[in-house]
């Protein structure tokens, strides 16, 4: 079965962020991911990873003023300089933390900007990011996000992300495939994974509706996990869901998924 990484942005939220590493390790996880490391020094986060024997498999490039509602700036023509600075900052953290891939959030379509200009800005920014990450030995990920949860998000479907990556033309740029977002926007989960697995660099999960743990909604995760095995997926699957009750109570799904039983 796939290897699962705990998303510390949404799991173990009953304790402060730096205490979640210990909680994840105690629950049986060997890897973690999260949205952003930038509120802490890389040294502080690295100490937590090392202390608890955890691998960090993913974090995002800086994405603007998150607390103010921004969800990325890669398609904003007036923020190019900020985006480029964020790429360099993300690379510094990735190298210090041992991360092999960084996710770029395209952002919401900027108000008052022609779509052609937003598109051109996004492609050029992704070319810059891919080149900088390649020089650092890293992969770039681009994630479609559903427009129910984030209205106006610029990339919302797998085909759209793939078409943009075709324009970018970088061999180190891949799709981050979030099963929850894909289910809400397009369905066809198994078929999409089969058709495009070679261009998918990372997978995340949550069930629908509610964005809770597998087994709480309509997605047949038992089938999808088995299908990923059949397809030969060897990457990590990030558990980016909101527990229906508590994190530990909700981890029972790991047993039927074939993962290590939480302590």
Catalytic residue among 33, 143, 218, 230: 143
From the centroid of its chain, how far is CA 66? 15
CA distances from 17 to 13, 23, 100, 257 (A): 7, 10, 22, 26
- Per the CB < 8 A criterion, the answer to whether 71 and 105 are in contact is yes
Q: Mark whether 65 is an active-site residue.
A: no
- E-strand spans in 132-245? 139-142, 173-178, 200-205, 236-239
Q: Mark whether 213 is an active-site residue.
A: no
CA neighbor of 143 nearest in space, from 219, 86, 70, 61: 61
Let me know the angle formed at the C-alpha of 242 by 241 and 248, rounded to the nearest 5 degrees: 95
Calpha distance 167→81 (Å, rounded): 21
Let me know the angle formed at the C-alpha of 184 by 182 and 185, rounded to the nearest 5 degrees: 65
Catalytic residue among 82, 186, 213, 240: 240
Let me know the angle formed at the C-alpha of 196 by 90 and 260, rounded to the nearest 5 degrees: 70
Calpha distance 248→232 (Å, rounded): 29
- Please, is 233 exposed, middle or buried when counting C-beta atoms within 10 Å of its C-beta (0-12, 13-18, 19+)? middle
Beta strands 173-178 and 139-142: pairing type?
A: parallel
> What is the set of active-site residues?
143, 240
């Amino acid at each position: 079965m796939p290897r699962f990484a705990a998303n510390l942005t949404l799991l173990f939220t009953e304790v402060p962020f730096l205490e979640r590493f210990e909680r994840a390790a105690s629950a049986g996880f060997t890897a973690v991911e999260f949205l952003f490391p930038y509120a802490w020094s890389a040294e502080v986060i690295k100490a937590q990873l090392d202390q608890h024997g955890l691998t960090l498999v993913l974090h995002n490039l800086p994405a603007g003023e998150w607390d103010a509602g921004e969800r990325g700036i890669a398609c904003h023509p007036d923020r190019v300089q900020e985006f480029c600075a964020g790429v360099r900052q993300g690379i510094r953290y990735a190298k210090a933390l041992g991360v092999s891939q960084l996710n770029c959030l395209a952002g919401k379509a900027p108000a008052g900007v022609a779509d052609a200009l937003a598109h051109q800005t996004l492609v050029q920014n992704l070319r810059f990011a891919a080149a900088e990450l390649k020089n650092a030995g890293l992969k770039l990920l681009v994630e479609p996000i559903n427009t129910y949860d984030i209205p106006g998000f610029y990339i919302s479907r797998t085909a759209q992300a793939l078409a943009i990556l075709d324009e970018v033309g970088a061999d180190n740029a891949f799709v981050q495939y979030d099963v929850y977002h894909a289910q809400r926007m397009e369905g066809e989960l198994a078929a999409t994974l089969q058709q495009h697995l070679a261009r998918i660099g990372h997978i995340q999960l949550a069930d629908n509706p509610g964005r809770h743990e597998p087994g709480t909604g309509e997605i047949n995760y038992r089938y999808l996990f088995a299908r990923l095995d059949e397809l030969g997926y060897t990457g990590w699957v990030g558990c980016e869901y909101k527990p229906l009750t508590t994190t530990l109570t909700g981890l029972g799904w790991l047993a039927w998924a074939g993962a290590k039983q939480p302590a």
